[in-house]
Structure 1
Amino acid sequence: MNIITMEEWKKYRRLGGGILFVLTLLFTSLSGFIVLSVLYLPGFLFGHSSAQWIFDTLTSLWFTFAVGIYELIYGVKIVIQGDVRNLNKNRCTLFIMNHRTRLDWLFFFSIQARYGSLRRFKIALKDEIRHLPGAGWAMQTAQFLFLKRKWHIDKNRVEATLKHFKQNCLPPQLLFFPEGTDLQGISRQKSKDYAEKNELDDYHYVLHPRTLGFTSVVTNMKTCNNLDQIVDVTISYPRTMLQRETDLVTGNIPREVVFTLRCYDIDEVPTDNEPKLTRWLEERWYEKEEFLKCFYSNKQYSNDNGYTKEQNTEIERDTKLYMIGAIIFWTLFAIITLYYLSFFYMFRMTYLFGCVIGVFLSTFVGFNNIFNKL
């Protein structure tokens, strides 16, 4: 009789937890997009802005649900230090962050849940993610910025997306990755080759940023959305990390994620001069490299975010209550949906039909295009 060791038991438990985590996020996002359409589609009767507001609110509730799962249930410790007091959920903000793993954006939800606006939060992501059933479709409809990393295509997408926010009076809070891809073997070598070709320092903890997309986003946000501030965010993983989405299944979720923030009012940034703006970004990335080099040598952080102990306690309490509310809502929603799928034939057929239509529309039309034309 084989006896399972404690180490094997922990491995199986992590694997089971990882599979459950992924299935929960996939099922709730897919079901939420299909079933809750009865809530946001009628919003078009009152105008496009009303429908967008309803949809963005439901999406932000799901974001909070995701945060609640990995923080409250899986125990991921989120540390947010630096210039936090200058964050404001009512300001039009561009967040720029180093791209250590393919899931940095998922953990960034924790910052927005505490200090920003999840309803107005948007992300610049790789184009492939837009076709992910449920979550990808919702991100399309929420007008996330999907980039193909081909400038002749991305230039038009940047302009169109930011003009859409202007037309709907929605000052976005956009997360943008100037590096364009996450830090791993191939991208690390490309960054090294680029540094050698241009006689630049070779970075080990970040990639050299792509400045063209950044300057375009800044220019368009300033013109269309009255950009208020740029927030430089450095993400670091002092203990463990997962590099790609598939790693979630293994259950090796990071035990600790540290965000270090520095806020710049738009008047402090040379936005009217592209060469100077390019240089400004490159200086920020040089600072990131130096900061991370020091951080990973001692793995210490200050926990200082500008708020008093009492203020932080209040923020954490309110955020936890919001997360618990989101967990309760989506858990009940999932249970009810599963019940109807199990015992009601017409509901099951309608659900499956919605999935098929969703795949077709996502692939050949785009939910963002449909939403804009309604």
Structure 2
Amino acid sequence: MCVIQWFAPVELVITADEGMNLDAICVRNDKGEVVELRLPQKFVCIANHQCYLDWMYLWCALYFAHAHQHIYIILMDRFKWIPVLGWGMQFYRFIFITRSWAADRVYLARKLLELGKHAIKAAQPFVLLIYPEGTLVSDETRAKSRQYSEKAGIADMVNMLLPRSTGLLFSLRTLAPSIPNLAVVDFTVGYAGIPPAGYGQDFYTLRSVFFNGISPPTLHLHIRMWQAKDLPLGDMSDSATRGAEASQEEKDMFDRWLLDRWREKDRWMDGFYKTGEFSNSQGRYTRTLEVKNPWAIAQAFSYGVPVITGWLLYRTFA
């Protein structure tokens, strides 16, 4: 949060679907700024994926939901060894996969059950972040999405990639039996300054944001939520013991549900690129992504105290 606040400042714009009570989600101060997001205690978070900053901004947004210390992100294992950031991901017990489902399935089930049981036992929040598209939208990935759509005989997306349901369905079927009231929270993410048919990664890269000072002026998050038990997850009576695998019929049913949700998001993004707002929302609240309590900044740097102390002792007595 400190890194975003100092080097990539952005104003958060929060909206919600019609029929949702935005006032119940967003707690505001006297200035009208959002000071807290009231989201479910334990949920699987899904979102569209536009640039490498997505997960960082979502992580910071969940700071206002008191879930920033209890978020787990599924991402490619090549990110594990990025200096500093990759080490932090490992300390936070992020889940690294290889894109080989045969190799990832058993590992993913074990990690999810372990994290879910820990969250229940410790009575802590739990957030699992998954990007169903699997990667960023770009010329290369759009071409692959188009090829997949032609092979599957379905219409392709315009602003996003066709989602893949395998990992999300597996995660929900693994977690839902052991986590009561598990929810699914969907964020449709829009960055100001990206034109129609533009790609977020072409405008906001890690280099341009953190080294050139070009960060998005506003980050729009459109929220909708479901209870996992209300989704077409299939028969889960013994899913925790049989590896959470679904039948082909169950997979097809969930795949249709997810595809329909992604088509809705795709239409919303059309309107967002034209007007700069999500038109299917009621109301909007804003908040600058920054640490709420100045003492938290000192806390963030307190983890470096042992290292600095050790270095000073070494320089003094070496």
- TM-score w.r.t. the length of structure 1 is 0.64
- Name 1:245's counterpart in structure 2: 206
2:295 to 325, 328, 342: 325
2:142 maps to 1:192:
no
Q: Is the 8 A contact 1:90 1:117 kept in 2?
A: no
Query: 2:52·2:205 contact (CA, 8 Å) conserved in 1?
Result: yes
Match of 1:345 among 296, 314, 318: 314
Task: State the match for 1:208 in structure 2.
Answer: 162
Q: Does 1:136 align with 2:70?
A: no
User: 1:171 Cα shift?
Assistant: 5.5
Separation in 2 of the partners of 1:291 and 1:301? 6
Count residues with an aligned counterpart. 275
Deviations along 1:291-332, one digit per CA (max 9) or x if unpaired, are 10111012135797779x8xx8xxx6997433x333233457
Give the unaligned 5+ runs of structure 1: 1-63, 350-374
CA contact (8 A) 2:116 2:175 kept: no
Please tell me whether the aligned partners of residues 123 and 176 of structure 1 are also in contact (alpha carbons under 8 angstroms): yes
Note closer, same or farther for the CA distance 1:277–1:88 as it changes in structure 2 (3 Å cut). Answer: farther
CA offset digits 1:66-91 (Å, max 9, x no partner): 44335xxx531111211554564562
Q: Which residue of 2 aligns with 1:65?
A: 2
**2:75 alignment partner, SS class:** strand
CA distance in 2, matches of 1:106, 1:348: 40
Compare relative contact order (CA 8 Å, sep 6+) and give the higher one, 1 or 2.
Answer: 2
- SS of residue matched to 2:261: helix
Conserved 8 A contact 2:12-2:288:
no
The answer for unaligned runs of 5 or more in structure 2 is 26-36, 195-199, 235-249
Cα contact 1:76–1:254 (8 A) shared by 2 = yes
Q: Which of structures 1 and 2 has the bigger CA Rg?
A: 1
* Closer/same/farther in 2, CA of residues 337 and 347 from structure 1, 3 Å limit: farther
Give 2:185's match in structure 1, choosing from 231, 240, 254: 231
Given candidates 132, 136, 141, the residue that maps to 1:182 is: 136
More helix by share: 1
State the percentage of identical aligned residues. Answer: 24
Does the aligned pair in 2 maintain the 1:98–1:177 contact within 8 Å? Answer: yes
Is 2:233 the counterpart of 1:271?
yes
- SS of the equivalent of 1:235 reads strand
Alpha-carbon RMSD across the aligned residues, in angstroms, is 3.2
- SS of equivalent to 2:185: strand
Q: What letter corresponds to residue 268 of structure 1 in structure 2?
A: D
Residue 286 (structure 1) aligned with residue 263 (structure 2): yes
1:153 equivalent in structure 2 = 103
Cα distance between partner residues in 2 of 1:172 and 1:94:
8
Aligned to 1:81: 15
Residue equivalent to 2:216: 254
Shift of 1:339: 7.9
Could you tell me how far apart the structure 1 residues matched to 2:317 and 2:145 are?
49
In the superposition, relative to structure 1, how do residues 94 and 166 fare at CA in structure 2: closer, same or farther (>3 Å)? closer
Contact between 2:271 and 2:277, CA under 8 Å: does it hold in 1? no
Q: 1:36-94: CA deviations, max 9, x gaps?
A: xxxxxxxxxxxxxxxxxxxxxxxxxxxx4344335xxx531111211554564562101
Contact 2:181 2:227 in 1 (8 A): no
Q: 1:135: how far off?
A: 2.9
C-alpha distance 125-203 of structure 1, shift in aligned 2 (>3 A): same
Query: Is this contact kept in 2: 1:172–1:225, CA < 8 A?
Result: no
Q: Could you list the per-position Cα deviations for residues 320-356 of structure 1 after superposition, in whole angstroms to 9, with x for gaps in the alignment? A: 433x333233457669956864x5436999xxxxxxx
Find the aligned partners of 1:231 and 1:189 in 2 and give their Cα distance. 29
Which region of structure 1 is more displaced relative to structure 2, 297-306 or 247-256? 297-306
Amino acid at match of 2:213: G
| Normalised TM-score (structure 2) | 0.75
Matched residues in 2 for 1:253 and 1:69: separation?
11
